[in-house]
Amino acid sequence: MPDWSPTAYLRYTDERSRPFAELLARVPGRPATVVDLGCGPGHLTGRLRARWPDADVLGIDASPAMIERASADNTDPHVRYEIADLRDLARGRASVAGADLVLSNAALQWVPDHRRYLAPLAAAAAQTFAFQVPGNHDAPSHTLLREVAARAPYADVVGAVPRRATADPAEYLDLLAAPGWAVDAWETTYTHVLDGPDPVLRWIAATGAQPTLQALAAHDAAHGTALHAAFEAEYGAALRDAYPERSCGTPLAFRRVFVVATRVG
């Protein structure tokens, strides 16, 4: 998959940060070592250090651009960043074993068949494994993305856009519940009020739609076409119908699923 844009991702920092704060609020204890899986541009590391100021933090992300941005902004000697694939960590090829807290915020949904990696990642944590994933794979923002991308002429360039479905809290509970573990699983639907022109398009263009948009932009550069602009216009119009602007702004309902698994006994 093409690399991410830290600048685009950080456009809605406050809204994207709220689930991270809710996740941290449910993590017990005082971990001395923390591994942040899918740390992105490192903008939330400060919250980890504020919650546990004595902890050493390792941020891991598969995106070179994200790690470059996080490393450039880092001035904390107790924080470091590395490029790695979550699947390799779960398979033991790059070890995070022994960290008191292993957590992941809005990253596991990008890992194909992510459910199979949850138990190995939990096993790597000495105390707690915690994660949050979007649960809005069937929201209009995503169904319209798949629908528009399946039309000509885009489909021949981008192929089928995958439905990156995450599980419900009960399924995650079943996957991680085991002797010696206490699992807290829940969900929250946020209603973000976004401002400006085409705010839902700008929101999803930085995350869920980015692979599609980058594929179209690459095709345009190679073949002299204008598919990227045409797709944005068509998809943006559909999003405006699905998410109409109100006097307060444009509401965007966004469901998130949370899990905190802690060793007990």
Span 184-238, pLDDT tens digits: 999 999 999 999 999 999 999 988 898 899 999 999 999 999 999 999 999 999 9
Q: CATH topology for 6-263?
A: Rossmann fold (3.40.50)
For residues 231 and 234, give the distance between their C-alpha atoms in angstroms, rounded to a whole number: 5
For residues 246 and 121, give the distance between their C-alpha atoms in angstroms, rounded to a whole number: 43
- Domain range annotation of the chain: 6-263
Specify the pLDDT at position 89: 77
Query: Peptide bond preceding 153: is omega within 30 degrees of 0, i.e. cis?
Result: yes
pLDDT reading at 251 higher than 60? yes
pTM of the model: 0.89
pLDDT tens track for 137-160: 999 999 999 999 999 999 999 998
166 — pLDDT class (breaks 50, 70, 90)? very high
Specify the pLDDT at position 154: 97
pLDDT reading at 97 higher than 80? no
Specify the pLDDT at position 43: 84
Q: Which residues make Cβ contacts (< 8 Å) with residue 43, sequence separation at least 6?
A: 10, 13, 17, 73
pLDDT tens track for 11-32: 667 788 899 999 999 999 999 9
Q: What are phi and psi of 70, to 5 degrees?
A: -65, -45
pLDDT reading at 254 higher than 70? yes
Q: Which of helix, strand or coil describes residue 65?
A: helix
